Amino acid sequence: MEKVQFNCNNAKGKLSLNMKGNIVAVSLFSGAGGLDVASFLAGVPVVISTDFDSDCIETLKSNELFAEAEIIKGDLHKIDSSVFQEVLKKREHDKFIVIGGAPCQPFSKAGYWVGHETRRGINDPRATLVNEYLRVVTDLYPDAFVFENVESLLHPTNKVIVDRFIEIITEQGYKYKIVRANAQDYGVPQKRRRLFILGTTGEFKSDEPRKTHCPESECQTTGLEPYVNVGEVIAGFDGPEFFEPEEVVDGGTYASDLKEVPPGMNYKALTAWYGYPNPKFVAEKRYWSFLLKLSPDMPSWTITAQPGPWIGPFHWDNRRLRVPEIAAIQTFPKGYKFYGTRRSVQKQIGNAVPSLMGRAMIEHVKESIE
């Protein structure tokens, strides 16, 4: 499949930078740059971005935001910390942070940590990139760091991983917070739960990253803004100029069933559980995201990197979401460009940290070292 550049000129999400002070960031596992964009939004310019995926590297290079960043392609296992140290020496700064989220796939199964004279890592070859993140943090000793991963990292089968992570950073003198965050609390039009481990050599100024949004029923009490609905964010992409062949589902196995699912529901709308006459499916016998359809009046469900043939979320107009729509839902800024095949771009965007969510985390550690 041909690799092309996708330019997401969404009507919302224009990037506004606020560069105060002289704090910079080193980004590991940058991917398409979701957490990197978050860092810029927080007023912490990224001076180093890294990833092993060629398309991700081209995505970063395609965006002017990274014009002054050193973009390094390679497996972090094979990148010596001295490479980062040399770049930092050339970039004027008073303080710096390390940001990044190691690939989350290993944490669906248990791993465990073992001691080593220079590093400690999970005894699982898929999970050693967490170890490499810690290796860079311990070698560079940044003023603060932001580590992102899936919530299931806190599952009992993975508890030893988190315990060892905390032990290592505590030995290094870091104060830390473990934050279980929902993206919609930070202005992201998406229900997306993530885990962050935040570390600082300073003092946290507040108990948690500042939330900006809440359920509408609580706004008067909290003074926050109501959750952002997905319809507000992707309304400008309905035109034929945004059409993608991959969005079409007509004629597929479950195309007619998808049309019967009301916005905001999934296949369970077609079951006896919901009172559907002549039920087509049995409740709880399918993945919950099977035939999952967005409602314009609600935040989106999680945007995934590799959705299956009939796995949502689908648009309420009975089609797959378009690239600028999923980019907007992930709060990538106006005009952000992605490089690669349609499948590659879906993966890049789906794996990204929503930028507005990441900004709140980075602002929290930034405040602790200012």
Please give the positions annotated as active site.
104
In angstroms, the Cα distances linking 180 to 22, 150, 208, 306, 309 are: 29, 9, 10, 24, 30
CA 191 from chain centre, in angstroms, equals: 12
Angle between helices 54-62 and 342-351 (to 10 degrees): 80
Buried/exposed 203-218: b ≥16 CB within 10 Å, e otherwise: ebeeeebebebbeeee
How far is Cα 346 from Cα 254, in angstroms, rounded to an integer? Answer: 22
Element (H, E) at 200: strand 193-200
Gap between the Cα atoms of 359 and 265, Å rounded? 30
User: How far is Cα 239 from Cα 274, in angstroms, rounded to an integer?
Assistant: 34
Residue where the block lists tokens 């940044």: 142
Question: Crossing angle of helices 128-140/159-171, nearest 10°?
Answer: 10
The H-assigned helical ranges of the chain are 34-41, 54-62, 81-90, 128-140, 159-171, 219-222, 230-234, 255-260, 323-329, 342-351, 355-369
Coil, helix or strand at residue 1: coil
